[in-house]
Amino acid sequence: MYTDIMNKAAIYHRPESEFAFLSKDNLVNIRLRTALDDLVQVELYFGDPYDLSTISSDNENEDKAIWKHEVAKMGKVASTDTHDYYQVAVKLPHKRMHYLFVLTSKTGEKFIYTDRGLIDYSDERISEKYSPFSLPFFHDVDKYKTPEWVKSTVWYQIFPERFANGDKSNDPENVKDWEDTEKIGRGDFYGGDLQGIIDHLDHLTELGVNGLYLTPIFKAPSNHKYDTVDYMEIDPHFGDKATFKQLVEDCHARGIKVMLDAVFNHIGDKSLVWQDVLKNQEKSKYADWFHINNWPVGYEGTKEFEPNMSRDYETFSYSPHMPKLNTSNPEVEEYLLAVADYWIREFDIDGWRLDVANEVDHQFWKKFRRTCDVAKKDFYVVGEVWHSAQTWLNGDEFTAVMNYFYTDAILDYFVKNKLSMNAMVSQLNQQLMLYRDETNGAMFNILDSHDTERLLHACAEDVDLFKQVIAFTYLQPGNPCVYYGDEIGMTGGNDPDCRRPMNWDLENHNPDRFWFFHDLIALRLKNSDLLTMGTMNWQFVSEEKGLIQLKRKLGNKELTGTFNTGTHTNMIDLQKIRASNLAKINGNQIEIAAKGFVISES
């Protein structure tokens, strides 16, 4: 029997999950969780389920089957404050595998971890393949797939109403002066439109981004357009379909992918279908398009985002202006899937970002994903999920999620002082271990957006801290996103202050920030394979010095980021500097000041 020298409760593995998954070239990636610092070695014993040899047994009338297997040593790939994670990639000639884990404790005792749990080690138990874990067949259709282009993308997010006014003929009534930003109201209009984006594509190209994410552009009464009235029409204050088609074509000509924002959790209260429900009540042919709790249904008029606590019908949050759609209704499902298909086929968009994605049923998203994949190969689907998202990231729903959980840990350490350095590293590692490697490489990493305060504002206008946080994030797996205006030093608190009109007086801005982004984006794209799929090695994590060093490695390529989050200057050995701030060469060392960083090549 095994003893208490090993924390058996911490040992965990699950086939057909983030603990056992296929990647390129039919490599099988196997992962195991154990207690922190509990083992000295983990080995994977693996082989074909049917590859058996026969030897004579003690019983003359009975031969004994021996499992032919290989052994691979598993490497420790991540640690949290409670667990270690081991991983290895192996390949088999046939598309099937049985496997066992052999664990060696600090005292040298060995155990076998099987599909039935932990048992004492013996050669006989291995050779007879006692209760192995199984991957019965490697079906390519079940493999998690990421579009290759996603791994080499840096996104630029635009809130269309506030980016640029390129066509004043489609301005809303009472449009505000573009420079009038002293007090921004939630319902204000400034006249930004699609033509304005087309007119400033040179700015995106010069910056170096190659992905454009637009918040909703479909017909809706608000400035944000999350209260959709008609999913099949461009909002007239933004332009028309011809203008949008031109925008996509111009972006593609520049090598820029285009992702739209889909709001399928709810619809605007001015939509024809909801108005029909209000008029005809339970007799409406759209009555089952929504989640109605009580009849008659209605609400008292409120300002746009004032809560209405009435529960006559389900809504987004407590907003009466955004009734929740019943996506399990076949008619709703058919309509929304047709919307998804239409904008892909007719306008050649490259991705959908899905608003409030975690509040829509999984069956709908599975059909949505199939619709997108049929309409266009290598399509990108990103869900807005603010918490851990394994359920949506098994390859049959989303490609990725907006990686708030990951980037929040970065902000909570560097900016908000809510976490210690070790706690941040633990949380980042924990998040990475929730998902397959391919998933981590496709995540949508944002530090600020239309839903949050701007990063510079969160940094109390400290430009050096701002740069340090961005550089650290650009070294992480996943794809970074620039929120419009960050590259010129725009600031602002939470909504609506984070949605100020883009300041196009570029000559009066400090160009340092623009070129900081430009150079970091270029470094990111040059090393995209390394930074999306390379290993993570925390070389140095010192609370005392405030120094954190992360090495990314893929094959022979390496990049190392060193960040001084302390209050005193730190020194590191001289290396080839590829990006830096507040750092200088001092003899055979590099001197990094407080809030400074160096990204170097070994």
Give the catalytic positions in this structure.
355, 384
Phi, psi angle pair for 471, to nearest 5°: -60, -40
Long-range contacts of 18-22 (CB under 8 A, 24+ apart): 18/390, 18/433, 18/434, 18/435, 18/436, 18/439, 20/133, 20/135, 21/143, 21/144, 21/436, 21/437, 21/438, 22/138, 22/142, 22/143, 22/144
Ramachandran angles phi, psi of 493, nearest 5° = -80, -160
Q: In the block, which residue shows the tokens 């940094």?
A: 459
Check: CB of residue 349 under 8 Å from CB of residue 259. yes
DSSP letter at 50 equals: T
Strand partners, 70: 46
Helix then strand then coil, % of the chain, to nearest 5: 30, 30, 40
Angle at CA of residue 593, ends 464 and 567, nearest 5°: 90
User: How far apart, in Å, are the Cα atoms of 332 and each of 266, 283, 290, 354, 587?
Assistant: 11, 17, 9, 16, 68
Chain centre distance of CA 459: 23
Q: How far apart are CA 135 and CA 140, in angstroms?
A: 13
Residue 274 CA to residue 332 CA, distance in Å, equals 12
**Position 584: which residue type?**
K
Degrees to nearest 5, angle at CA 498 with 493 and 504: 125
DSSP for residue 78:
E
Phi/psi of residue 367, nearest 5 degrees: -70, -35
CA of 60: how far to CAs of 56, 216, 566, in Å? 7, 76, 73
Is there a contact between 572 and 598 (Cβ–Cβ < 8 Å)?
yes
- What is the C-alpha separation between 291 and 281, in angstroms, rounded? 13
- Measure Cα distances from 381 to 3, 157, 277, 355, 377 in Å: 47, 15, 31, 11, 12
Q: What's 141's DSSP letter? A: G
Classify the C-alpha dihedral 513-519-520-521 as positive or negative. Answer: positive
Query: Cis omega before residue 496 (within 30°)?
Result: yes
Query: How far is residue 279's CA from residue 268's CA, in Å, rounded to a whole number?
Result: 15
